Amino acid sequence: MSKSSADIVNQLQAEINSIQGYKPAEAAVCRMGMGPVEAAFPNGIFPEAGIHEFITTCREGSAASEGFIAALLAKLLSKGGVAIWVSISHALFPPALVAYGVQPDRIVFINVERLKDALWVTEEALKCEGVAAVISEIRDLGFTESLRLQHAVEQSRITGFILRKSPRAIGSAACCARWRITPQPSRSVAGLPGIGYRRWNVALDKVRNGNTGNWLVEWSDSGLQVVPKETGLIIEERRNVG
């Protein structure tokens, strides 16, 4: 019996998703604990074998993005392996990663001075199958360079995070997702004064074959969790009322 056109299309879409890093629902996957956010991706699964682009335009956004990436990295490293962190800015304070459950000795830090060197090191690192993830802090990323990075992870099946700080231009990129993380006021814990759990506004500005959206996400002892909008609004209204 010959396959219908719908079956052929579905099979081709499944093969394309697999190449782009989206595993079938029944396969062993790494759950990030962000239900609605993960649901925005094809099959409702965070794409591990893909390039994730993060855009920031200020220092606060850069720090928030580094924290959010560290939270994702903790999940990826829980399966074993090490990570590689490539940087031109040299601004990261490695001991701060412990707050997100990432031990700095599980990361190989590579500092370079030129964008050209950072891109080369990142691409070569993304080809290493024994690496859980590669994080690269660069400013500019052209479409051709992003395509080379995406091709690398499609072979090695590892995760790439590209943190672009104050890019001069945001054009098209061959990435599976484009994120924008901004810090948000935290809530107090059990009525105690001081700073509560970290919160971010997590925006997915681009998702290949998925859906874009905005969510309020909190990092606590339980990991990453999406805060229901009603809860966030109530807390914000109470804060405004004083």
pLDDT digits (tens, 9 = 90+) for 180-202: 999 998 877 766 767 788 899 99
Question: Count of alpha carbons within 13 Å of 64, Cβ hemisphere only?
Answer: 26
Rounded to whole angstroms, the Cα distance separating 191 from 211 reads: 36
Which of 181, 211, 156 lies closest to 53 in space, CA to CA? 181
Which of 187, 206, 207, 184 lies closest to 197 in space, CA to CA? 187
Helix (H, G, I), strand (E, B) or coil at 179: strand
The per-residue pLDDT for 115 is 92
- Beta carbons within 8 Å of 207's beta carbon, 6+ residues apart: 40, 41, 176, 177
The one-letter code for the residue type at 83 is A
pLDDT under 70: residue ranges of the chain? 1-3, 6-11, 13-30, 190-191, 193, 229-242
